[in-house]
Structure 1
Amino acid sequence: MFWTTLLRQRRWQAWLYPWRGVDWSLLIAVWLITLIGALFIHSAELHIGDKDGFQHVAVAIVGTVLALTLARIPESAFIGVHWFVYGLSCALLLAVSLFGVEANGAQSWLPIAGFNLQPSEFAKISIILTQAALLHRVPANGLAGILRVFIATAPPLLLILTEPDLGTSLVFGAITLGMLYWANARLGWIILMLSPLVAAILFALPLPYELNLWVWLLWTLAMGIVAWRSLPLGWIGAIGGIVLNLSGAGLGQLLWSVLKEYQKNRLLMFLDPDKDPLGAGYHLIQSRIAIGAGGLWGRGIFQGTQTQLGFIPEQHTDFIFSAIGEELGFAGGLLILFLFWFIGLRLLQIANSARTDFGSLLAIGLFSMLVFQAVVNIGMTVNLFPVTGIPLPFLSYGRSALLATYIGLGLVLSVANHRPRSRY
């Protein structure tokens, strides 16, 4: 009996050996939050009888198989295929612009074999892989490394903007800034990259004109000082930083003119959703009611009135957190935040212990994507951010988004799996 048991143990150990370095705690946390997502997708759709919660689990199973398959491959192998993946991603995005299906005001889906594929979700993983490879070769402590990243990011970003998909475009920005920072770009440079957008927002704030103007000018002056301290051109760089931010007003007007009408309404209703309680502000008002009604412990699973009566449109996708907040309450919301914190922590630990800069950047790219999406989506449901259509990772229903995120997880598990054994 003893020898039989020992033989079985050795067989299991031999079978699991290719995954001996995988971060199982990260994978377990991801599966736990995915199952919570499936449960509340089912709850949000109980009144209409859809089965998307079961599809969510099915896609997660396929994603787990892909993730564990990728985890067996050394991370160095992914460097050699990054241009192929990048080219395929751009080709799919181009196909969307030509043959895509429109829904909710955006032409983002590509019908393939009876399924609607959303290439922009896979483009997020493609750009993480591409930027990691580029920054592995030329770090961001010089302008050459930063320009290479911007040039590679521009084509897929422009294709996504033409859909138009503003939410995914913002995720691209978060990924790029996070990876540049990790690749030793100066903090001042990153601030200057963001400064025109901030200047545009400050110029458009609903404040008295004189106060608005002073806030905008003070910000512009501050960015001139940042440029003077961080750019190698001295006063020339400072003047460039000031001019860049002075153009923020024009940038804001340009961005506003290219937005679709529904996107403008989302931004306006974020400031005051009660202006149109039955129209553009309806989602935000109902989401706040649902989360507030949950109290400390929630109304119970399948017991939330806002959720079960379908008061909130798209509650199984963009507004899944409102269903969790109503039925599990403040405690359930804290559980979700804790799981995201733990996943982010594990990704940072993998990034710190990776054996190559490429592997470290892969982990940081996924970290930037998940954290940004979680913060914006949850903030959106409580009216801290405008409605942008950014899904909540692992929780929102969306087959392409979930599968792409699991593929990104597989790349990071490969980094963890092939770390030097002495690191953990």
Structure 2
Amino acid sequence: MFKRYRIRDYDFKLVLMILTLSVIGIVAIGSAEESLQSRQLFAVLAGVFLMTVISFLDYTLLLKLYWFMYVGNLVLLAAVWQFGVNVKGATRWLKIGGLQFQPSETAKILLILFFAQFIMNHRKKLNTVLIITSCIVMFALPWILVWEQPDLSTSMVLLVIFCIIMFAGGISLKLVFAVLAVAIPAVALLISLALQPNNDLLTDNQKNRILAFVNPQEYSTTYAYQQLNSVKAIASGQLDGKGYKNNEITSVKNGNFLSEAETDFIFSVIGEEFGFKGSITVIVLLFGVSLECISVARKSRDVAGTIIGASMGGLVAFQSFFNIGVATFILPTTGLTLPFVSYGLTSLLSLYIGMGFVLNVRLQAKKTKQ
């Protein structure tokens, strides 16, 4: 299970960027909701421990449990469907004893690991109808369970991850372009139909979020309220920010005009208190983490490692783009957390576990792939 590695092959640069983001998150959460700061700190420490242990384990051996990961993922998601805790109209959480967690967050990592090994085993037949169809069906089962929670934002993330997995696995570019040629107009048509009255493709809440993005003035006191206040908070921070835990009466955060400030709108807190300098620091660090993961994918010794690195990089990049896009009102509200920064114990621990695998892929990297 453990191998002998060279310490110089350990990706300390990636670890440093992740830890810096986590520290920024702890600080920002302390301002947004001080009672949650100690819990976030504990989650970061637990995450660092898990990441470190996993980074020294041989990922090729761990991936042999891929069917266990897939079935376990389905069981957890099905359990949410049957026994989940309903919060604000969505059933996304599972409570076992005194522990409450969100299986859709762990699903992101488990699906990456499962498909990394599955495609590795069938890489020579990846572009056959049988394997592609099998991948789509096996992805569709957990995806439907997430969609039905309902969780549109996580469903979108899972779709992006699946596309990255297939691309990194070596699917034919001709097939990719053919699918895009059909998918892009189909998605546009689907969104148009979903927004029509008496259509059940989207819930009323999801429809209103999209309509609020298109026409914010009409929804300025309802669905667009949080995003409009988020933009005010970020803009008011200007270059240097208003200061950590400031007492200014003009503070959007201090006036409690931001709900979910510790999760969905943590970037707004950073923008207001640390200004453009703080905001750009977070963006550069997230971009750096994504690029480093992709760099690890390029150096991987096998297809499984390539998929793990590329998918984790894509996950951080896509989720960061959507969270910051919502906070700055360039995208409709989605409810996605900011990786390593937002409060969310399941999300944070899942990301740290995924990064542990990336670090081990880097430790076993070779100049040429097998």
Question: Counterpart amino acid of 1:292?
Answer: A
Q: CA deviation at 1:142?
A: 3.9
Question: Counterpart amino acid of 2:154?
Answer: T
Counterparts of 1:49-128 in structure 2, within 5 Å, are 50-128=34-112
CA 1:335–1:198 in structure 2 vs 1: closer, same or farther (change >3 Å)? same
CA 1:203–1:61 in structure 2 vs 1: closer, same or farther (change >3 Å)? same
CA 1:266–1:390 in structure 2 vs 1: closer, same or farther (change >3 Å)? same
2:312 to 362, 366, 374: 366
Counterpart CA distance in 2 for 1:330 and 1:126 is 36
Q: CA deviation at 1:186?
A: 3.5
Counterpart CA distance in 2 for 1:34 and 1:201 is 35
**Contact 1:43/1:308, CA 8 A, preserved across alignment:** no
- SS of 2:217's equivalent in the other structure is helix
2:338 to 384, 389, 392: 392
CA 1:331–1:422 in structure 2 vs 1: closer, same or farther (change >3 Å)? same
Provide the residue aligned with 2:15 in structure 1: 27
Q: Structure 1 length as normaliser, TM-score?
A: 0.80
Q: CA deviation at 1:97?
A: 0.8
Say whether residues 1:152 and 2:134 are aligned partners.
no
Provide the residue aligned with 2:356 in structure 1: 410
Per-residue deviation, residues 1-58 of structure 1 (Å, max 9, x unmatched):
xxxxxxxxxxxxxxx975723211111110100110111111112xxxx421221121
Question: Counterpart amino acid of 2:153?
Answer: G
Question: Counterpart amino acid of 1:269?
Answer: A
Counterpart CA distance in 2 for 1:86 and 1:375 is 28
Counterpart CA distance in 2 for 1:422 and 1:199 is 39
CA 1:185–1:256 in structure 2 vs 1: closer, same or farther (change >3 Å)? farther
CA 1:249–1:143 in structure 2 vs 1: closer, same or farther (change >3 Å)? farther
**Contact 2:301/2:367, CA 8 A, preserved across alignment:** no
Counterpart CA distance in 2 for 1:168 and 1:22 is 31
Counterpart CA distance in 1 for 2:322 and 2:256 is 23
In the comparison of the two structures, how many residue pairs are matched? 361
CA 1:308–1:19 in structure 2 vs 1: closer, same or farther (change >3 Å)? farther
**Contact 1:197/1:252, CA 8 A, preserved across alignment:** no
Counterpart CA distance in 2 for 1:251 and 1:261 is 10
Q: CA deviation at 1:398?
A: 0.5
Provide the residue aligned with 1:285 in structure 2: 228
Counterpart CA distance in 2 for 1:285 and 1:408 is 34
Q: Percent identity?
A: 31
- SS of 1:359's equivalent in the other structure is helix
CA 1:147–1:73 in structure 2 vs 1: closer, same or farther (change >3 Å)? same
- SS of 1:26's equivalent in the other structure is helix
Stretch moving more, 35-44 or 144-153 = 144-153
Counterpart CA distance in 2 for 1:299 and 1:19 is 45
**Contact 2:193/2:199, CA 8 A, preserved across alignment:** no
**Contact 1:142/1:185, CA 8 A, preserved across alignment:** no
- SS of 1:108's equivalent in the other structure is strand
Provide the residue aligned with 1:179 in structure 2: 165
Per-residue deviation, residues 129-150 of structure 1 (Å, max 9, x unmatched):
1111122122344444422321
Provide the residue aligned with 1:378 in structure 2: 324
CA 1:141–1:278 in structure 2 vs 1: closer, same or farther (change >3 Å)? same
Provide the residue aligned with 1:225 in structure 2: none
Per-residue deviation, residues 332-355 of structure 1 (Å, max 9, x unmatched):
111111101211121111111111
RMSD of aligned residue pairs (Cα, Å): 2.4
- SS of 1:314's equivalent in the other structure is coil
**Contact 2:292/2:313, CA 8 A, preserved across alignment:** no
Counterpart CA distance in 2 for 1:24 and 1:53 is 26
Q: What residue ranges of structure 2 are gaps of 5+ in the alignment?
A: none
Say whether residues 1:135 and 2:102 are aligned partners.
no
Q: CA deviation at 1:416?
A: 1.3
Structure ID, larger Rg: 1
Larger helix proportion of the pair: 1
**Contact 2:109/2:351, CA 8 A, preserved across alignment:** yes
Counterpart CA distance in 1 for 2:359 and 2:301 is 13
Per-residue deviation, residues 119-167 of structure 1 (Å, max 9, x unmatched):
1100100110111112212234444442232121111101111101111
Stretch moving more, 249-258 or 291-300 = 249-258
Provide the residue aligned with 2:257 in structure 1: 311
Q: CA deviation at 1:195?
A: 5.1
Counterparts of 1:153-232 in structure 2, within 5 Å, are 153-194=139-180, 198-200=184-186, 202-203=188-189
Counterpart CA distance in 1 for 2:158 and 2:13 is 27
Counterpart CA distance in 2 for 1:168 and 1:150 is 17
**Contact 1:350/1:360, CA 8 A, preserved across alignment:** yes
Counterpart CA distance in 1 for 2:114 and 2:147 is 19
Counterpart CA distance in 2 for 1:388 and 1:366 is 20
CA 1:253–1:182 in structure 2 vs 1: closer, same or farther (change >3 Å)? farther
Question: Counterpart amino acid of 1:296?
Answer: L
